[in-house]
Every structure is written in C-alpha cells, then in structure tokens.
Structure 1
C-alpha cells in the first residue's frame, strides 16, 4: 500500500524535524516562569494568538466529521455543525467574554474563580471543580482526537487505527510537554501555513472539477439519494442515510444547537489567549482574526466532499454493492460491534491472509480486484458509504503524489494544534490551581514544569482509554458538546451575570451536572443529544441554585473588586448604581453596543462560512444572496463594535475607589 512517494516522505521528515526543533528551542523560554509556560506572560503578539486560534479549532477529526455531513447533506451540513464545528461561541468571545476575563489579571480560568468568589471555602471549591471539569473535558477531547486520527491514518498505513493514533499522539505530547504555551502558539503558526496551502489546493481543484451546479446536484443525487443536496437553506426534515437518522429534524436541531451555543458563548470559561492578551482591544482583534481565519476550512471541506461524490460515483456505479459487501462481512463476524468495525476492515484490507479465504474471495468478487482495498475501506457498519472515510479516500485516490503529503500533513498539523492547545490549558490549571495551590505553594519553576509533564502523560492515557469505549467520532462529539458541555452551562453563566451566585453554587452546580453527565454516559449511552443536554443542564441548574443558597453571599469587597475590574451586565444593579453617574453611562453604553452587535456578528460569521462553499459549487444565486447577508452583518459589526473598540481599555481605573467614594458619600448624607 504505497500511498506516499519520496517527496511525501521528505515533507513529513521536514515537518517532524521542525516540530522537534521548535519544541527544543522554545523549551528555554517556556521554562523562565510558570506564567511563561501557561500563557506566555503577555509577551506574544495578538495576531499570533489569533492565527493560533484557527489552528487550535481546525482539527483532523473535526474536519473528517464536517466533511461527512457535507458529503451527506451538501451546504446544509453547516447547520448541523452549529453544535460546535461552526464555532459560534467566537462571536461572544469577540464581543465581551474575552475582555471580561482579561480584566481579571488571572493566569487560568480556574484561578478566575478566586477572583470572582474570593479565596474562601466556596472560591477554592469552585476552583478545584473547575480543574476537574477541564481535565474531564480534555480527556473527552483527546478521545475524540484519538478516534479520528486513528481512522484517518489507518487508511494510509498498514496499522490498526489504534496504533496509528498512539504514534501521533505520542509525538504531540512530547513537544507540548517541553514548550508550553510558546510551543502552542509558534508551532500553530508553522502548522497554519501548511493548512493554508492545503486549503488553496483542495478548493481550487474542486472548483475546477465542478462544471455547473446542475452537474454536481445530479452526482449528489446518484450517490446520496438526497434531492435537497444543493440547498443552502436548512430543511425541516433532512434526507439522512442509515445510521444518521437522529439528524433528520434539521431545523429543530439547528435551533437547538444555536440555543446551546448562545449559552455556552456568554458563559465561556476563558481561553488562555485572553489571559495572555495585553488589553481589551487585543481581545477583540485576536478573536476577529481567529473567526476570519476559520473561514478557510469551509471551502476546503466542501471541496473534499465534492471530490468524494465524484470518487464514490466512479468506484460504485452500482451502489447496492455496498450493502451486499456489508452483509457478507457481518455473516462471517455476526458478533462484531460498531466499535470494532474500523479495526476489522483495516485488518481485512491489510492482512487478508489472517481471514477466511472464502470471505476474501467473495469480497474481491463483489468489489473487483482494482482498487479493492480503497473500496473496502468505504464500507460502513450499516452497509452504506462510510462518510467518515471520505476524507482519507479522497486524499488517496484524487490527490497526486507530493501534494498528497502536504495535504495529509496539513490535517495532521490541525490535529496536533488542537491537541497542544487543549492539553496546555488543562495542564496549566492542574499545575497552577491544584498542585501549586494546595500541595506545593513554594515549588520552583523547574518542579512545576516537571509536574506538567506528568500531567500531560496522565491526560493522554485517559483519552486513549476513553477512545476505546466509543463507536464513532460522532458519538464522542455529541456527548462532549451536549452531555458534558451542558453540565457546565448554567454554573458558567450565572457566575458572570448574577451577583448572588457564590463559589458553593458554582462548585455544587458543576459537580452535580458533571456527575450526571458521566452517569448518563455509563448507564444510558443511548440518550440522544436533546436528552443529554436537557438532563445535564437541569442537573447543573438545580445543583447551582441549591448550592448558592446553602452558603452566604460572596464577601462585598470581593464583589466590588470583581465588578470594578470586569464591569459585566446582568444582575449587578446595586453595584452599578453606586458608581458616579458618568461612569454608569459609560458602562451602559459599552453594554448596549456589545449586545446590539450580537445578531450582526452571528450573521457575519455564518454567511462568511457559507459563501465560499457555494462558490466551490458554482451555486451563484445562493452565493450572491449570502454575500448580501455577509455585507449586512459586516456593516452592523463595523459601526456598532469595531468603531467602538477603545485604543487600549474601556476602563483605566481598575480599583474599587469609585465604589468606595460613593459609599462614603452616601454614609455622610444619611440621617
């Protein structure tokens, strides 16, 4: 199975050498202090963090996942990805959540709980639960990455999906250990350049292949049997193949995912990039660049889906062959579970001598000897085209040698970037907010960095173990976004917008919601995403409210400090009214422009992602209509948000003196 040539291997060798070299070079800078290791100590430029954000959010597994939906649904696949792939949370991070977290001056999202609730029992409890929550989420994300990387690489290499994933994860773990946040940012810049080359190549290739929108519509109908494949408007009931029936109610799902994204976005826990930003303006600029850079992934993914349609049409003129081959395999392995399907197909393809000669002969008779291995890899557990295999199949059969290596490297680089960012955040919280806070407050930098290495190793092992318990990347992503993600929605939201919410409420709400999500995963794994979100969200809400009233309110001085530095909107009226009238107007004006910008930001972001996909499809009517929406969203965002951004910060005076002055004045005037 010689899918790579000499040029491909040369590129791969250069890539590995650069990663290792950067890791070793940046090790010294990352080791200067724990602040350097976790956030870069405010020394990294905003544009570098913005580009790094794009690389962080563009991963191989997510790309394969989104390609699978675009292959099945066409442009409507974007609306299913409102659940996470369209990263709508960036709108809220750009408008206000990012700057709110930066104003705290904290090092991590867990440490932020001390800033919000005080260094008391409740604050420390909330800090500890935040660490546990991030570690658990990270293990889930690593399982998601491991599953996708394994499926992808096993198509190219004569190894099982598990072994392919282990090798790549090991490499990523090593350079993440050494270089910390510096490694995250600067390897992401290097990897972002590779990704851009792949985006341009795939998008142009697909655009040239499509003769007209009518042609691609006919091909999509033949391959997917979906008459609405070209539609850029979501349908109430989407045409979904066997195994994906749960995604059929597309509009309800889209609205459901949008609702979830709004709550997730406005309660976001704070990315390390914001703690490393220098001022409010940088928070907005880096997120705007981050969002714009995310646009590049969509024409590439639509291009891969288009190439996949033409490929499947050529490989399977008679689509019934897929179901026949699936039934044949099931007849020889009647007890095979979906979790083991990928390893079984890989084994049959790469080591046929280990299987029944009758099975191999019959499969070759059905599929034909020409491109037999590639056809076999596309058969799903349900006897249909495996949409999760479209990405590697396209790279193997439609991309030429040399360029194939670059595109594969780009996708590997995307996964490495997601891995290092995710692990860096969890490691930073574990070391700073658990080990240093409770066990070794006087530990030197060298000791803390060694502890971070051990933490990385533990996270990786946990992720690998979890990956082996699930059947598909869709299953992992659904639980991460809806089950586990829903557990923290209410506690994360209330701590920013309700003054009475205290550390006990935050910790109990998160703990109850998280426990409920884990129990659901173990006992009721068949729950759909609606049920998962509702179940864990209600559990977090009940736990949060009960926990809040189990303890006294946060100390007034802590609340004053938090409010003066952050200036959030929500239920903070009694503190806002204590400000001088001019300050109140200034705060209200900032909040007004932040909130009125939301619909414009969402329209701008969604249309910016949709338009280049329609361009690839030559769907000109829908393309120009989407561009009108893009201009409306962009114009509103320019006038209501961009022009209102301060040169540095909205509030230069970050102490409680204004509130103290008003309190003294009120006391003097009281009878």
Structure 2
C-alpha cells in the first residue's frame, strides 16, 4: 500500500486573500439579516415561515457537503467504485430524500410546530406522556447536534491543517499538538457569529449562497477529472467489478482498507443499510436541521417542493466524490492506503493559483453551511424545549432570543470537546450512525403510523434502544452490521410496543386533532372511524385526501429517479457512456411519471387549514409573554 504524501501542498497569498474576502462577505450578509431574525423566537428559528421553497431546499443541500463527510465518501468511491452508493443508505440516502418530497415534508409542515420536540406534544398531548416524549426527544436532538458538530470539527481541522501548517516556532506544547483543532475552532468561531446573530434566515440565505460556491468548486474538479483520465486508464488500476453498481455477495478487495474492511460480505451488509435507510425515510427527519427546513416552509406544498429540489441538488456531491477518486486512481494508482486524504491533496497540488482559493472557499462554505445549520437546530431544542419549557416558562420573546445565543454557544463548545477527544473521524461517525441513529429508529417510525403508540412508548423505546446500541458497540465491537442491526431493531421495537400497550393510550381528542391536521396513512383505523362518525353528525372534516396510493408510488419512482440521476453523474466521470445513457433514460421516464403521480397531486397553496381556537390558545401560551 502506498501512503499519500501531503507535504507538497501549498497555498499562495492570493488564495488566502480570496478565502479571507469570502469570510468577510459571509459575515456581512449574516449581520445584515440579523434584524429580520430578532423579532420573535419563530422568526429566529424558522425565519417567520416566509422563506421560499427553493432557498430552503438548496440551503439544505449545501448542509450535506460537509468536508468530513465528503472526504469519507471520496475514500469509499476510490475503494468501491460505483458501489459506493450503498453505504450512503446508512444516513438515509434516496429513501429519506424521496420521503421528504412525497409525503413527509407536507406532513411536517401541516403540524405547524416550532421544533420536533414540540411536535411530540402535538402528537401525544400536553400531559405527562407528551412532556416525557418531548423532553426525551429534545435531549436526543441536542446530543445528536453536538455529536455532528464534533464530527465536522475533526474533519475540518484535519483538512485545513494540510493547507495551513503550524508556525515553525510551535514545536511542542498544547498548541502544537492541537493545531488542526485550533484551525477548526477558528473557522467555527467565524461561523458562529452569523449563526447566532441571524438565526435560520441567516443560515438559509448564506447556505443558498454557499451552495453555488460549492457548485463552482465541484465543477472545477469534475472537469479536471474528465479531462485527466480515460476509461482504459481507470481500468488499469481497479478490477472489473469496480465499475458495477450491483453489489456482489462478497468483495475481498474491501478487506484491504481499514475504511471498508468490515464490509467484505457486501450483499448482506448492503441489504442492512437499505433497510435502515428505508426506516430513516418513513420515520421522518432525525433531530437535525432537516426537520427545521420543512417546518419553516410557507405551506405544505412548498415543503414538498423543497424536498424534491433537495434531492436533485445533491448531484454535485456524488459527482465530485467520483471526480477526486478517479483523479487519485489515474495519478497515484489503486493502492493508496489513506484515500480519504485525496481531497486536500488534489485541491492543493492540481489547481492553479486563484482557482485554488475559490475552490477552498467553496469547501469552507460546505463546512460552514453544515455547521451553522446544526448549531441553529440544536440550539432551538435547547432553548425552546428545555430552557423555556422547564426552566423559564415565563420568558419573553426577546428573552428567548437572547437565551438562544447562549444555547448556541453551549452547543458549539460541546461539539468542540467531542471533536478534540475523538481518536479518529470513523469513531465519531460510527457512534452517530450506530448508537444514536439506531436507538431512535423504531420509535420515530411508530409515532407516524400507529395510533396506539404513546409518549411513554417513545421515551422507553428510545432509551432502551440507545442503551442496547451502546452495549453492542462496547461488548461486540466486531459484530457485522447484518447481525447487530436486526437485534438492536428487535429490542427497540419490542420495548416500544410493549410499553405503549402497557400504558394508557393518548387522549382521543389529541389523536383526532393530529389526524385532522396531518392526514397520515397507516394504522389509524379507530381514529379515522371516529372522525367520520363526527362528520356524519355534522362536524365537518375538510380533507384534500391523503393520496396514500399516489404518495407510495411517487416515493418509489422518486427513489429510482434520484438513484439513476446520481449514477448518471458518476458514470460521466468514469467514462461509462453506455450506462450513462441508460441511466438518463430512467431519469426521463421517472420525471414524466412524477409529473402525474406527484406534481399534479401536490397540495394547493392554501391547503394549510387555519388553526383551531385550542391551537391558537396553545400557541399564545408558548410564544407570548406570560
């Protein structure tokens, strides 16, 4: 195995000036937008629900271009080729993105809540069960946000330290040993300024700008990759199956890299990832910035449109991963031991002065977009669902906005501590995906689709699920995912269902109000029957219809279309033009089909029903000065 040498990487003064000018400009934009975010807590965390769908969707897309995640994806593409799409299901991937666009986005917007934790009281009521579900969700949300900030901090520091070496005088001591963390913390400090000042409005608009900067940086690398190598040159460095999308039962090549050595039995591992991705999709956004974008949409229709452009906008991320990985194969061969380091090496050694600065600004934009969205999301739970709910319920709107500044700083500090204490980036990623992600998987699904599921079932199912996942990592660290995941899933499912059945159900009035506003599908028979009986008695239930069949069909078509679109992008980089054309045909067919099954079925612009008097009262208690 050959180890990449990053000593030859340098950055000119012009490149540093370009990066510096960008940082100043982005802070200025955040400062200008701060006045729009400080009117109320709703303006601060949801932009007053006035932000257009295209801005929400593309700024959300920019959040997925974090440096650490892209470095990980590049390393996987280098090793796995076109099969690198399968590990993406660990975070949801096309299953989650398709659900965003077809039904989950509009369901979330119909709820009309401020945070995912407040949604728990909307679903389970304001009694003890609703409160315990809300508190457990908020705590998990803050923990996940802090963990992702730690993940971003570690990856960003590793990336920046390649370009900016520590001062020659810093040979020993704490600063010398932690130079990557110093760089990451410095950038996080700059980002925190506009994140704290401007709330989601600042995060959204700067994320939108950052998307196009990232797009430019990606385009430069993609063109470079296509020009540099041919299909034959790539084929000299990799086996034939590297070009295939379908996973084989076993792939011995994966055992040669620490990044992929636990995935040698690829087919059962890939099937496990797909099941997890599907569950992440139908369970709705996890406790991150995804959910916040849909709650901030102007209507359920715009929430669905934001979900669709979100998925389409991810094309450059996969294409740049393929581009950098392909450059690595052609230029350095197929036996690099640390392929995740290809990202800084390619940017640092193959781009001309000036362009390098612009691409670096794009990469920093990716980190800043992810970081700012995560901080804003985590602070919303800490402020609104924990501080205002349990410590200062009588806080004014201005008081809550100020408290959110402090909470944002606390979330940042927590993430920095995790990033500085982690042994490597894979350790943080595994902890997020396996421990935290698996623990909340089943309760998140049941809350949408089963009327009998209650707040106690959610809290206990989450608690036992997370504890079981922690025990699995500590006691059976070498267990393959296709063995550990079904066991963890069963523990979480049984604990959630049995607890729900052993405790009182959610109040019928709460369930009926939830069903009326959200219109979910699933096992809601008793609730739906009660509402229909009330409608017959003169209590009208105005519904546009849940379009259950159309939503499911559109979800499948969207997932297939997105996968074909992503494959088109990577096939272009690897010069697989026949496969490119076939994937393009699939994209065309899916696009035409979605016009009829999805676009024409979207809710109207006025689909969101006005709040009831009970909801108005609840909102006043939550938002007005007591």
Task: State the distance in 2 between where 1:42 and 1:503 align.
Answer: 28
Q: 1:540 offset after TM fit, Å?
A: 2.4
SS of match in other structure, 1:194: helix
Deviations 1:97-123, CA, capped at 9 Å, x for gaps: 111111111111100011111100000
Q: 563, 571, 595: which is aligned to 1:638?
A: 595
Map of 2:448 onto structure 1: 496
Judge conservation of contact 1:564–1:656 (CA < 8 Å) in 2. no
* Cα drift, residue 526 of structure 1: 4.6
Cα distance change, pair 9–651 in 1 and its aligned pair in 2 (3 A): closer
- Alpha-carbon contact 1:71-1:308 (below 8 Å) kept: yes
CA contact (8 A) 2:92 2:281 kept: no
1:202 deviates by 1.2
Cα distance in 2 for partners of 1:489, 1:589 equals 24
Tell me how far 1:479 sits from its aligned partner: 2.9
> Is 1:216 paired with 2:173?
no
Q: Which residue of 2 aligns with 1:205?
A: 224
Quick check: 2:86–2:274 contact (8 Å CA) kept in 1?
no
Residues 490 and 656 of structure 1: CA distance in aligned 2, closer, same or farther (over 3 Å): farther
Mapped contact 2:89–2:276 kept (Cα < 8 A): no
User: Residue 610 in 1 paired to residue 610 in 2?
Assistant: no
**Does residue 88 of structure 2 align to residue 81 of structure 1?**
yes
* 1:282 aligned partner: 302
1:443 shift after superposition = 1.0
Q: What is the match of residue 425 of structure 1?
A: 377
Give yes or no for the alignment of 1:258 onto 2:257. Answer: no
**Contact 1:151–1:389 under 8 Å retained in 2:** no
2:163 to 142, 146, 156: 156
Please point out which of 361, 365, 375 is paired with 1:409: 361
1:485 deviates by 0.6
Contact 2:62–2:369, Cα closer than 8 Å, also in 1: yes
The corresponding residue for 1:95 is 102
Aligned to 1:540: 492
Offset, 1:629: 2.2
Distance in 1 between residues matched to 2:567 and 2:581, nearest whole Å: 11
Asked if 1:296 corresponds to 2:316, the answer is yes
Structural RMSD (CA): 2.4
Q: Structure 1 residue 276: deviation in Å?
A: 1.1
Structure 2 CA distance for aligned equivalents of residues 649 and 539 of structure 1: 43
What secondary structure does 1:618 align onto? coil
How far apart are residue 529 of structure 1 and its match? 3.5
- Is the deviation greater in 574-583 or in 612-621? 574-583
| Cα distance in 2, alignment partners of residues 306 and 534 from structure 1 | 35
Q: Offset of 1:445 from its aligned partner?
A: 2.9
1:522 Cα deviation from its structure 2 partner: 5.2
Shift of 1:528: 4.2
Q: How far apart in 2 are the matches of 1:198 and 1:588?
A: 44
Residue aligning to 1:466: 418
> Distance between the aligned counterparts of 2:577 and 2:299, measured in 1?
41
Q: State TM-score, norm by structure 1.
A: 0.82
For 1:467-616, what aligned pairs fall within 5 Å after superposition?
Answer: 467-521=419-473, 525-577=477-529, 578-579=531-532, 590-616=547-573
Note the alpha carbon deviations across 1:509-546, whole angstroms, 9 max, x for none: 11222233344455555554445534543332233123
Query: Distance in 1 between the 2:9 and 2:330 partners?
Result: 23
Whether 1:439 aligns to 2:455 is: no
Counterpart CA distance in 2 for 1:521 and 1:444 is: 44
CA deviation vs aligned residue, 1:134-164 (integer Å, no higher than 9, x gap): 1111122112112211221121121333223
Deviation at 1:285, TM superposition (A): 0.8
Taking structure 2 as the reference length, the TM-score comes to: 0.88
* Aligned counterpart, 2:5: none
Q: Offset of 1:653 from its aligned partner? A: 7.0
- The 3 A distance-change label for structure 1 pair 427 and 140 is same
Task: Tell me the equivalent position of 1:345.
Answer: none
1:653/1:150 Cα in 2 relative to 1: closer, same or farther (>3 Å)? closer
Which residue pairs with 1:105 in the alignment? 112
Alignment of 1:389-404 (within 5 A): 389-404=341-356
Q: Give the stretch that moved more between structures: 545-554 or 105-114.
A: 545-554
User: Shift of the alpha carbon at 1:45?
Assistant: 1.4
Q: 1:480 to 1:42 in 2, by over 3 A?
A: same
Q: 2: CA distance between counterparts of 1:139 and 1:29?
A: 26
Tell me, what secondary structure is at the counterpart of 2:116? coil
Q: Deviations over 1:167-226 (max 9, x none)?
A: 22222223212221111101102211211111221111111112x3122211x23xxxx4
| Cα distance in structure 2, aligned partners of 1:401 and 1:538 | 55
| Cα distance in 2, alignment partners of residues 519 and 468 from structure 1 | 24
Counterpart contact for 2:146–2:378, Cα < 8 Å = no
Distance in 1 (alpha carbons) for counterparts of 2:467 and 2:78: 36
Count of residue correspondences: 583
Task: Quote the residue 2:72 is aligned against.
Answer: 65
Give 1:21's aligned residue.
Answer: 28
Displacement of 1:630 = 1.8
Query: 2: distance between equivalents of 1:628 and 1:147?
Result: 41
- Give the direction of change, closer, same or farther, for the CA distance of 1:505–1:277 in structure 2 (3 Å limit): same
Other-structure match for 1:628: 585
Corresponding position: 1:386 with 2:386: no
1:165 aligns with 2:184: yes
* CA drift at 1:272: 0.9
In the TM superposition, residue 49 of structure 1 has moved relative to its aligned partner by 0.6
Alpha-carbon distance, 1:471 to partner: 3.7
User: 1:236 and 1:22 mapped to 2: Cα distance?
Assistant: 51
CA distance in 2, matches of 1:570, 1:82: 24
The answer to which of 528-537 and 22-31 deviates more is 528-537
Closer/same/farther in 2, CA of residues 609 and 138 from structure 1, 3 Å limit: same
Deviation at 1:585, TM superposition (A): 12
Contact 2:53/2:302, CA 8 A, preserved across alignment: yes
**TM alignment of 1:213-252, pairs within 5 A:** 213-218=231-236, 220-221=237-238, 226-238=239-251, 239-240=253-254, 241-243=256-258, 244-252=260-268
Larger-Rg structure? 1
Gaps of at least 5 residues in structure 2 are: 1-7, 167-178, 615-626
Contact 2:57 2:307 in 1 (8 A): yes
Distance 1:173 1:154 in 2: 20
